[in-house]
Amino acid sequence: MSRATLPVYISPEDKGALEAAGVKFGKVVAGAPGFQYVELPDGWCVVETHDSSIRKLIDAKDRQRAFISYSEDREGWGASLHASLRFRFIVGVDSNERRVLSYVTDCDRVIHRFKPVLLKDQTTPAALAAEDRARKVALVWINEHYPNWRDPAAYWDV
């Protein structure tokens, strides 16, 4: 177990998923009420990114489990500090002026690509409709193969 800090605000669902994975939540950090101490499972860590306002929670298999962000109070909007869990599997769509591609990733690694949807008409409504069709194809596949993919606690131990 290693000690780290995470934001105090984590949705109840995300906090439950982290606890199920072995994260133990502790007390609020003195002098920094937006943060709390946590004990992370063996091999887990919080890492900095190129942007000082963003950190990642990484598990023992080097997979990003959560996104942690902080933004200072700008123009009266107030400061923001939060952590949100990532899903292991994500449906993505990319497009250019000729085609739309959909795919499924497992921790940022593409595991399935689908036949491109060709754009016959490049107007915005037609392009959006093509993206929607491509996304639906990917959703059918992921729902068949990983029906609980939208649960941030699902499939990490597979």
Element counts in the chain: helices (H) and strands (E): 2, 11
Residue 81 near residue 7 (C-beta atoms within 8 A): yes
Looking at residue 143, what is its pLDDT?
98
In the chain, where the domains are located:
2-85, 89-145
Report the distance separating Cα 15 and Cα 97, nearest Å. Answer: 42
Instruction: Give every strand in the sheet of 24-29, ordered side by side.
Output: 2-7, 32-40, 24-29
Looking at residue 96, what is its pLDDT?
85
Residue 20 near residue 152 (C-beta atoms within 8 A): no
Looking at residue 77, what is its pLDDT?
52
From first to last of the 158 residues of the chain, give the pLDDT tens digit: 899 999 988 999 999 999 999 999 999 999 888 889 999 999 999 999 998 889 999 999 999 999 998 876 555 555 678 888 999 999 999 988 889 999 999 999 999 999 998 888 777 888 889 999 999 999 999 999 999 999 999 999 87
Looking at residue 80, what is its pLDDT?
73
Q: How far is CA 48 from the centre of its chain?
A: 16
- At residue 9, what are phi and psi to the nearest 5 degrees? -80, 110
- pTM for the full predicted model: 0.81
Report the distance separating Cα 40 and Cα 72, nearest Å. Answer: 26
Buried b (16+ CB within 10 A) or exposed e, 103-123: bbebbeeeeeebebbebeeee
Looking at residue 75, what is its pLDDT?
58
